Structure 1
Amino acid sequence: MAKVKTANTPSTRSEANETLRFLLKLALFVLILRSFIVAPFSIPSESMLPRLLIGDYLFVSKWNYGYSRWSLPGGVVPFPSMHWSDPKPGDVVVFRSPDPAPGDANPEHDDHDVIKRVIGLPGDTVQMRGGQLFLNGKAIPKQRIADFILPLTPNFDTRHCDAAFQDTVEGQPVCRYRRYRETLPNGKSYDVLDQRDIPAADDTGVYTVAPGTVFLMGDNRDDSADSRFAPPMGMGMIPMERVEGRAMVSFFSTDGSAEWIKPWTWVSAARWNRIGEGF
């Protein structure tokens, strides 16, 4: 008569060990993939409008500029810095924000991943005059183009869009912003928003980008805490070692109307036309 193996037999323990080894290998593979090759990133704020909307998901390549401890999730594991290339002006990069100042209890200032556009490299001078960008003393062409119109949705509602910019298009409530096209000296072009005249953001002193750092700005110029402002109002210039990678392509986007218990809303909430957009 054949014996029935119990839960404590060597065979069962071997299967459990094999499963554990598989899960550990899978975790190691995912860690290597996210740290050194490509990682997903989600957009939580409107600072990079019009290119990036709240609810966009994109892939970030990790090998372009080098590696540091911030290449690893959370930056908790010490890792030697290796830098082999500076970002190019116009690149959209993900970086680790500066550590909060001593005594700063604002949770928004905790170090976290942020996405902005590269404007200045070491040695460059950057200034805003009357809402126009000046790079190394030369005005960056800023061409007025069609307004940026964004439908109001659950993840971008009246809390994000001031009453002054709310409008209606074909019966649908929208947010309408002035949009411009900037073109950097290297030929890189991109759209920016200029909501209103804000002296602190539109008229600044001359910034000289320090060695080993990069000057970053959000495309939504009047709603971006970036290198124009020192902490805690902004982030100042970001050390190169904190730059984690370059934005590659959007792979998903949602307007925030989906509900987990209603799977059909996962489809209706998706903004399919945004999938596959590059940078």
Structure 2
Amino acid sequence: MATEAKKGNAFVETIKTIVYALLIAGVFRTVFFQPFWIPSGSMKDTLLIGDFLFVNKMTYGYSYASCPTIRVPVVGLHIDAKTICGFMDGDNTRILGGEPKRGDVVVFRHPVNGTDYIKRLIGLPGDTVQMREGRLFINGTPVELRDDGQFEEIAQPQGPQRLRPRCENGPVGQGGLCLKSRQIETLPEGTEHAVLNITRQGSDDTPVYAVPEGHYFFMGDNRDNSTDSRVPPQVGGVGFVPYENLIGRADRVMFSSAGSSMLAFWTWRGDRFFKGIE
């Protein structure tokens, strides 16, 4: 009997340990840092498909969006962040709120479908933003743009979704060299980052967007391959993002996998460990 009691106690202690570990992990993810794995090429070449990073949630303070949305499709589990932290939803405010800066690379919650996105902050509240012939205009002034060679990658399926890259020199066959024009864009405050060009398309010429108070305008660095604020959410884009939907700032890539799984360590890119995000 004593042996059975010990086994029972050991089982209970194991369950307690697992529960405590999950609680600690949940608090850590909600309050401090959230892991994020880059699923698409919309932020090339700043971020590549397969980059793994932690999002700093302390930078902008906390809102309902700071809580994780739990999705386990296999068992049909979907617990939305608003279900967990709905008490913080409303009035587009944050607790211990900090103001994001133009040029920050930010993870935010999509205003309609709740999916986590990562883009670069381009427009602040009160700004006007427009694209003309592929060039960014902020408050009616064109940003400085200078050529910086080409971005090269192999034309092959990438990441778990097996996405094929779009190429400026396309169509490119399997295993061929995929090229995109690379330029350095300098934002009004002096922040510099690379942007890529694939082709002339509708998103290169847009109306003037007036960013409302309490909202932000985001764009991907891979400009011709990004679903962002240039398209309203009602037709598949992102539109203006409310302040309370910001999750955190991405500062550094921890490691990067060129394969279909981040666990496939033999596919990790040796030049991206702890790489700073600019």
TM-score range, shorter chain: 0.7 to 0.9
* 2:257–2:267 CA contact under 8 A, matched in 1: yes
Structure 2 residue aligned with 1:233: 236
Structure 2 residue aligned with 1:88: 101
What are the superposed Cα offsets for residues 217-243 of structure 1, whole Å, 9 maximum, x if unpaired? 000111111111112231100111111
Q: Supply the AA of the counterpart residue of 2:165.
A: H
Alignment partners' CA distance in 2, 1:70 and 1:158: 28
Question: Are the structure 2 counterparts of residues 166 and 53 from structure 1 closer, same or farther at C-alpha, using a change threshold of 3 Å?
Answer: farther
2:272 corresponds to 1:271: no
Structure 2 residue aligned with 1:46: 41
Question: Are the structure 2 counterparts of residues 257 and 226 from structure 1 closer, same or farther at C-alpha, using a change threshold of 3 Å?
Answer: closer
Alignment partners' CA distance in 2, 1:258 and 1:96: 24
> Percent identity, aligned pairs only?
40
Alignment partners' CA distance in 2, 1:186 and 1:237: 21
Q: CA RMSD in A?
A: 2.3
Structure 2 residue aligned with 1:159: 164
* 2:166–2:198 CA contact under 8 A, matched in 1: no
Alignment partners' CA distance in 2, 1:140 and 1:94: 24
TM-score by length of 2: 0.85
* SS of aligned partner of 1:14: helix
Greater CA radius of gyration, 1 or 2? 1
TM-score by length of 1: 0.85
* 1:153–1:256 CA contact under 8 A, matched in 2: no
* 2:111–2:241 CA contact under 8 A, matched in 1: yes
Alignment partners' CA distance in 1, 2:11 and 2:220: 49
Structure 1: gaps of 5 or more residues:
100-109, 261-265
How many pairs does the alignment contain? 256
Question: Are the structure 2 counterparts of residues 175 and 166 from structure 1 closer, same or farther at C-alpha, using a change threshold of 3 Å?
Answer: farther
Cα distance, 1:257 vs structure 2: 5.9
Question: Are the structure 2 counterparts of residues 69 and 246 from structure 1 closer, same or farther at C-alpha, using a change threshold of 3 Å?
Answer: same
Structure 2 residue aligned with 1:25: 20
2:140 corresponds to 1:137: yes
Match of 2:205 among 203, 206, 220: 203
Alignment partners' CA distance in 2, 1:111 and 1:26: 27
Alignment partners' CA distance in 2, 1:216 and 1:187: 17
